[in-house]
Amino acid sequence: MKINKLLEIIKDRKIKMPEGSYVASLFELGEDRIIQKVGEEATEVVIAAKNKNKKRIISEVSDLIFHLLVLLVLSDITLSDIEKELESRNR
Protein backbone atom coordinates (compact mmCIF):
# COMPACT_ATOMS: atom_id res chain seq x y z
CA MET A 1 0.00 0.00 0.00
CA LYS A 2 1.23 3.48 -0.82
CA ILE A 3 1.96 5.66 2.20
CA ASN A 4 -0.29 8.46 0.96
CA LYS A 5 -3.21 6.01 0.64
CA LEU A 6 -2.61 4.68 4.16
CA LEU A 7 -2.46 8.23 5.48
CA GLU A 8 -5.84 9.00 3.90
CA ILE A 9 -7.35 5.89 5.51
CA ILE A 10 -5.99 6.94 8.91
CA LYS A 11 -7.43 10.46 8.50
CA ASP A 12 -10.79 9.00 7.49
CA ARG A 13 -10.86 6.64 10.48
CA LYS A 14 -10.05 9.55 12.80
CA ILE A 15 -13.04 11.48 11.45
CA LYS A 16 -15.54 8.60 11.23
CA MET A 17 -14.30 6.58 14.23
CA PRO A 18 -15.84 3.31 13.00
CA GLU A 19 -16.54 0.69 15.62
CA GLY A 20 -13.99 -2.11 15.60
CA SER A 21 -11.32 -0.02 13.86
CA TYR A 22 -7.83 -0.34 15.34
CA VAL A 23 -7.02 3.19 14.20
CA ALA A 24 -10.18 4.57 15.81
CA SER A 25 -9.31 2.73 19.03
CA LEU A 26 -5.87 4.37 19.07
CA PHE A 27 -7.44 7.81 18.71
CA GLU A 28 -9.94 6.97 21.46
CA LEU A 29 -7.12 5.91 23.78
CA GLY A 30 -5.36 9.18 23.06
CA GLU A 31 -1.96 10.72 22.65
CA ASP A 32 -0.17 8.77 25.40
CA ARG A 33 -1.16 5.41 23.91
CA ILE A 34 -0.18 6.46 20.39
CA ILE A 35 3.21 7.69 21.62
CA GLN A 36 3.65 4.45 23.58
CA LYS A 37 2.97 2.42 20.43
CA VAL A 38 5.55 4.42 18.47
CA GLY A 39 8.11 3.69 21.20
CA GLU A 40 7.25 0.00 21.30
CA GLU A 41 7.49 -0.36 17.53
CA ALA A 42 10.81 1.54 17.41
CA THR A 43 12.23 -0.83 20.01
CA GLU A 44 11.04 -3.82 17.99
CA VAL A 45 12.79 -2.42 14.89
CA VAL A 46 16.04 -2.14 16.86
CA ILE A 47 15.73 -5.72 18.12
CA ALA A 48 14.97 -7.08 14.65
CA ALA A 49 17.93 -5.16 13.20
CA LYS A 50 20.23 -6.41 15.94
CA ASN A 51 19.12 -9.97 15.15
CA LYS A 52 19.76 -9.34 11.43
CA ASN A 53 16.33 -10.76 10.60
CA LYS A 54 15.41 -9.10 7.29
CA LYS A 55 11.82 -10.37 7.24
CA ARG A 56 11.26 -9.19 10.81
CA ILE A 57 12.89 -5.82 10.09
CA ILE A 58 10.47 -5.27 7.19
CA SER A 59 7.52 -6.21 9.39
CA GLU A 60 8.56 -4.04 12.32
CA VAL A 61 9.47 -1.03 10.16
CA SER A 62 6.03 -1.32 8.57
CA ASP A 63 4.45 -1.27 12.03
CA LEU A 64 6.58 1.72 13.03
CA ILE A 65 5.71 3.69 9.90
CA PHE A 66 2.02 2.95 10.45
CA HIS A 67 2.10 4.22 14.04
CA LEU A 68 4.19 7.24 13.05
CA LEU A 69 1.50 8.12 10.50
CA VAL A 70 -1.13 7.88 13.23
CA LEU A 71 1.00 10.23 15.34
CA LEU A 72 1.35 12.66 12.42
CA VAL A 73 -2.42 12.75 11.93
CA LEU A 74 -2.95 13.25 15.65
CA SER A 75 -0.42 16.10 15.60
CA ASP A 76 -1.84 17.68 12.42
CA ILE A 77 1.48 17.25 10.63
CA THR A 78 1.48 16.44 6.91
CA LEU A 79 3.90 14.40 4.85
CA SER A 80 4.63 17.66 3.06
CA ASP A 81 5.80 19.11 6.38
CA ILE A 82 8.18 16.17 6.77
CA GLU A 83 9.39 16.45 3.17
CA LYS A 84 10.12 20.16 3.66
CA GLU A 85 12.14 19.39 6.78
CA LEU A 86 14.10 16.67 4.99
CA GLU A 87 14.71 18.99 2.03
CA SER A 88 16.04 21.69 4.35
CA ARG A 89 18.65 19.22 5.59
CA ASN A 90 19.90 18.46 2.07
CA ARG A 91 22.43 21.27 1.69
Return the exposure string of 39-67: e unless at least 16 CB atoms fall within 10 Å of the residue's CB, then b: eebbebbeebeeeeeeeebeebbebbebb
| Residue 22 falls inside a structural domain | yes
| Residue 28 falls inside a structural domain | yes
40-75 per-position pLDDT tens digit:
999 999 999 999 999 999 999 999 999 999 999 999
How much is the pLDDT for 10? Answer: 99
Q: Check: CB of residue 42 under 8 Å from CB of residue 31.
A: no
Quick one: average pLDDT of 10-28? 99
Give the Cα separation of 64 and 6 in Å (integer).
13
| Total-model pTM | 0.95
Q: Which domain holds residue 75?
A: 3-80
| Residue 88 falls inside a structural domain | no
Quick one: average pLDDT of 63-91? 97
| Residue 73 falls inside a structural domain | yes
How many structural domains are present in the chain? 1
